Structure 1
Amino acid sequence: MTMWRIALMTGIMFPSLQACGTATIEDAVPVGALHSAQPAAPPATFSATGAYPNLNVIPVPASEQLTEGEVERKTEELRRRRETLSAGGSVAPSDMQALRTLGNSHADDALKVIEGR
């Protein structure tokens, strides 16, 4: 058989193969479903489109800025906290023993609850 006869027979015997790629989304979905009932809100913009911002206008701060003294005090406070935590002095030794005891008994208590004892 020649190629044209095979092509002719497949076109006659399997017409569904010819229609495989012709469907579009508009054919499958109703026209009203493609467009939402409410138009989408435009994205929020902070300046007019196509206009350059005026760099000569000084922006107004949202809140009061920290003074130099406040910055130094906060920095020193954070530095002391970091040193305390890195030295391991965050938990007192008596509290550490109590936490270890609690941690060791926690597993036993959980097993008792699971086993129903």
Structure 2
Amino acid sequence: MTINIGETVFSGTGRFCRMGAAVVLLAIAGCSSTNIEGATPVAATDGPKNTGTYPNLNIPPQVAAKQFTEAEKNAKLAQLKADEQAQASKGGAVKAANPAALNTLARKHGADALKQIESKCDPALDPTCK
């Protein structure tokens, strides 16, 4: 009985398990090395600071950037409208889609696609294929 256990542990399948475990451990050990030469230190002034007090929610927070004035907003909207008109004059106008045509396409598209798939028909190769 002892001999059979010894054979299982020290040869055969046991040997492959030990070799596999050794490979995994070597791979983990090889990937876990640390190199801090190119690391950037985190500044002590960055991030949240514990002031030891609760924030006063009655004071509005400071804004991150200056807000647009009404004149700046109107100027930017006028520039966008001018760009839109310039693009439309080049022929790049966006045309409104016909809702009825889109609904018809939605109803027929699935059936048409299945018909092409089931018949192994490729319209790119056969223009008469439908």
Fold agreement, TM-score > 0.5: no
| Higher RCO (CA-CA < 8 Å; seq separation 6+) | 2
TM-score, structure 2 length as denominator?
0.36
TM-score, structure 1 length as denominator?
0.38
Larger Rg: 1
